[in-house]
Amino acid sequence: MTEILVLVDHVDGDVKKVTFELLTLARSLGTPAAVWAGPGYSDAAKARLAEYGAEKIYIADADEIGDYVAAPKAEVLAHLVAERSPAAVFLAATGEGKEVAGRLAIKTDSGVISDAVGVGEGFVAEQSIFGGGVNVHSRVTRGLPIITVRPNSTAPVAAAGAGAEEKIEVALSDAARAARIVERVVQEKGGRPELTEAAIVVSGGRGVGSGENFAIIERLADSLGAAVGASRAATDAGWYPHQFQVGQTGKTVSPQLYIAAGISGAIQHRAGMQTSKTIVVINKDAEAPLFEVADYGVVGDLFQIVPQLTEEIEKRR
Amino acid sequence: MNIVVCVKQVPDTATERKLRSDDKTLDRDAADGVVNELDEYAVEEALRLKEAHGGEVTVLSMGPARATETIRKALAMGADKAVHLHDDALHGSDALGTSYAVSQALKKIGFDLVILGSESTDARTGMLAAMLAERLGAPQLTLASKVEVEGTAIRVERITDYGYDKVEASLPAVVSVVEKINEPRYPSFKGIMAAKKKPVETLGIADADIAADQVGLANSWSEVVDFAAAPPRAAGTVIKDEGDGGARAAEFLASKKFI
Ligand SMILES: Cc1cc2nc3c(=O)[nH]c(=O)nc-3n(C[C@H](O)[C@H](O)[C@H](O)COP(=O)(O)OP(=O)(O)OC[C@H]3O[C@@H](n4cnc5c(N)ncnc54)[C@H](O)[C@@H]3O)c2cc1C
Ligand SMILES: Cc1cc2nc3c(=O)[nH]c(=O)nc-3n(C[C@H](O)[C@H](O)[C@H](O)COP(=O)(O)OP(=O)(O)OC[C@H]3O[C@@H](n4cnc5c(N)ncnc54)[C@H](O)[C@@H]3O)c2cc1C
């Protein structure tokens, strides 16, 4: 079967969960070949990629690839597309993944499907648009299918692949070196799963009232092994860092469980969480629009309900 | 500094948004057209850069006739002039086609800096800025929460999963902005009146050297096969807290095997 290239999403040498989802999806449609672009490749990374079915691992681990915005990864992929004629390319529908996909599409004169929630026979992709209101099937009609897939939309399933390594060298063009990353500033709050990767997300909004009060949201999250998210009202107020904002202009999350406390459910917030599998809403206003999408809602004061919920969960552990 | 801001007209997110049953493109008549919210932040940033460094702000919008409403709004905020890329041949262009057409118009207009929103609220592909950078061979400074220009040097802070990256490049460049970057101004009455007199140039595909076989629905690189309204979420249970709301929520989570 022909290869499907999967761009590995990695930070500090760690492979992100979405990569295992992409490999799982690729395996159902062809032969998955992982593409590692950037520094930090290791035996541990190889083992993880092979564990999820990578038959081949293309390695372009020059430090330089990580020094510039998006363009070098697109050049690595374009090089492989020209050399190997894969059947398709899958990338994570993250900020960077989408940008790499866009540039690759132009380099290879191929169509690109953005933010798929599934891919089937013939690389027909499923998209969930307008904040989850409409389901679309779409496909690429010119060139090879380049598809970005929303994290958490496929369950990762392990299945050993050969993991045959092949080093590749790509000479970056001057254009790819145009936007240089001079410093990376890490603001991650330690210990919790990454927001877009987490199976459970607990988010707080304006109703939480202050940055200090976010501790009760964090405690609930920790009782569930969840990531913490926030509405824009909360990030704008400085109660929680911006990279935890869920919504149209924040992160799109699609976890198994989304718990929202003190969030009204503005359309821009819903656009980022509406495809969560199960939604629990806590709000003192029974009219809050977020209740419309809730599987379970509690009308009441979050300062009563959230700590009680946390305590119950801890009791049951 | 010659700044071009890309502005898209999108259906109001507060109204019901649809695709057309005939050609499966966005139904622009079903809903009110508004300025893509993030593009107001892009316009604001352009105006601030102009205020600091001088120059001119041009609004560029590709879209149907009614996109002029959106162009007027950006002019009312303070942009100097506008270009409306408008041609029936552009209808139904996908992200590749749109980026091609917009890049051709940008070459025609000329620029030191192009500023976009990082994402539209309708299609939300989040790819256009990267695609323009690729097509124009210009540095890509996207997802910016802060922009600084000094001479021909440009520096941005780019939002990432873990925080942000500091990124540097030289002009001309392509920037996209996130909403954290500023607070867009409201057009004043004076601004609204002045906007009516500002020049809006309409370009068809021939005027912008756009090859007809690279744009429009028939020439798109992707197609919608079919679509359907998502099945409504089954109505959930909503209870009123009587002192045991947290415990009952825990029951629910246990019944779903989350605990
Ligand atoms: C361009 C643009 C982009 C945007 N992008 C995003 C985005 O990405 N993400 C996002 O979230 N928003 C976004 N927004 C903002 C969005 O429109 C809303 O303003 C925002 O989501 C509101 O946040 P909230 O629900 O926390 O606050 P509010 O709407 O103020 O809701 C607070 C809720 O808390 C409840 N509450 C108060 N006290 C308590 C209590 N003690 N117990 C229980 N409940 C309580 C209230 O009843 C209320 O329902 C965007 C807006 C624009 C214009
Ligand atoms: C629901 C939906 C899903 C789609 N999915 C895909 C897909 O998967 N693949 C694909 O190739 N095409 C897709 N399209 C078509 C494509 O998105 C449009 O061509 C669109 O105009 C460009 O993409 P965008 O709005 O997503 O750009 P984004 O990259 O999300 O927009 C970023 C910024 O680009 C600027 N911009 C975008 N469009 C214009 C414009 N017309 N004039 C001026 N500035 C503009 C604005 O500043 C905007 O903030 C989709 C369209 C719809 C309606």
- Structure confidence by residue, pLDDT tens digits, B42-98: 999 999 999 999 999 999 999 999 999 999 999 999 999 999 999 999 999 999 999
Q: Contact, B228 vs A135, CB < 8 A?
A: yes
ipTM comes to 0.95
Mean pLDDT for chain A?
95
CA nearest to A65, candidates A181, A166, A147: A181
- For position B161, what pLDDT does the model report? 83
Q: What percent of chain B has pLDDT over 90?
A: 88
Helix (H, G, I), strand (E, B) or coil at B215: coil
B129 Cα to the center of ligand 2, angstroms = 10
Helix (H, G, I), strand (E, B) or coil at A45: helix
CA nearest to B120, candidates A211, A130, A71, A58: A130
Please give the radius of gyration of chain A, using alpha carbons only, rounded to the nearest integer: 21
- What's this model's pTM, rounded to 2 decimal places? 0.94
What is the pLDDT averaged over residues A89-118? Answer: 97
Which residues lie below 8 Å from residue A236, measured CB to CB, with a gap of 6+?
A: B180
**Cα gap A268→A263, rounded to integer Å:** 12
Verify whether the Cβ–Cβ distance B96 to A200 is below 8 Å: no
**Cα gap A94→B125, rounded to integer Å:** 10
What is the pLDDT averaged over residues A107-117? Answer: 97
- For position A189, what pLDDT does the model report? 67
Q: Contact, B46 vs B30, CB < 8 A?
A: no
**Ligand 2 pocket, Cβ-based, cut-off 6 angstroms:** A 112-114, 129; B 6-8, 26, 36, 38-39, 42, 60-63, 93-96, 98, 102, 116-117, 119-120, 122-128, 222
CA nearest to A99, candidates A79, A126, A69, A124: A69
Q: What percent of chain A has pLDDT over 90?
A: 89
**Quick one: DSSP state of residue B235?**
P
- For position B109, what pLDDT does the model report? 97
Q: Which chain A residues touch B227 with a CB distance below 8 Å?
A: 134-137
B139 pLDDT above the threshold of 70: yes
Q: Which atom of ligand 2 is nearest to the CA of B96?
A: 11
**Cα gap B148→A68, rounded to integer Å:** 18
Q: Which atom of ligand 2 is nearest to the CA of A114?
A: 8
**Cα gap B75→B77, rounded to integer Å:** 5
Tokens of residue A178, six digits: 């145009």
Q: In this complex, how many residue pairs, one in chain A and one in chain B, have their CB atoms less than 8 Å apart? A: 297
- For position A285, what pLDDT does the model report? 98
A191 pLDDT above the threshold of 90: no
A38 pLDDT above the threshold of 90: yes
Verify whether the Cβ–Cβ distance B258 to A95 is below 8 Å: no
Closest listed ligand to the CA of A146: 2
B102 pLDDT above the threshold of 90: yes
Tokens of residue B156, six digits: 């941005």
A190 pLDDT above the threshold of 80: no
B194 Cα to the center of ligand 1, angstroms = 35
What is the pLDDT averaged over residues B142-148? Answer: 97
Pocket flag, ligand 1, residue A299 (CB < 6 Å): no
Judge whether A175 is closer than 8 Å to chain B, CB to CB.
Answer: yes
Give B149-190 as a 3 state SS string.
EECCEEEEEEECCCEEEEEEEECCEEEEECHHHCCCCCCCHH
Q: Out of B34, B37, B176, B183, give the residue to mutate to test ligand 1, the one with the largest number of ligand atoms within 8 Å of its CB.
A: B37
CA distance to partner chain B, nearest, from residue A162 (Å): 31
Pocket flag, ligand 1, residue A252 (CB < 6 Å): no
Q: Contact, A92 vs A151, CB < 8 A?
A: yes
A204 Cα to the center of ligand 1, angstroms = 9
Of the listed ranges A153-157, B21-25, B136-140, the one predicted with least confidence: B21-25
Nearest to A243 among B135, B159, B169 (CB): B159
Nearest Cα residue to atom 5 of ligand 2: B123
A233 Cα to the center of ligand 1, angstroms = 5
The secondary element (H helix, E strand) that includes residue B102 is helix B95-109
Q: Which atom of ligand 1 is nearest to the CA of A249?
A: 8
Judge whether A181 is closer than 8 Å to chain B, CB to CB.
Answer: yes
Q: Contact, B119 vs B144, CB < 8 A?
A: no
CA nearest to A139, candidates B214, B221, B32, B98: B221
Confidence of residue B100 (pLDDT cuts 50, 70, 90): very high
Residue B199 phi, psi (nearest 5):
-70, 130
B32 pLDDT above the threshold of 90: no
Residue B149 phi, psi (nearest 5):
-120, 135
CA nearest to B179, candidates B155, B146, B149, B140: B146
What is the pLDDT averaged over residues A180-209? Answer: 91
Confidence of residue A1 (pLDDT cuts 50, 70, 90): low
**Quick one: DSSP state of residue B223?**
E
Judge whether A99 is closer than 8 Å to chain B, CB to CB.
Answer: yes
Q: Out of A220, A268, A291, give the residue to mutate to test ligand 1, the one with the largest number of ligand atoms within 8 Å of its CB.
A: A268
**Cα gap B8→B116, rounded to integer Å:** 9
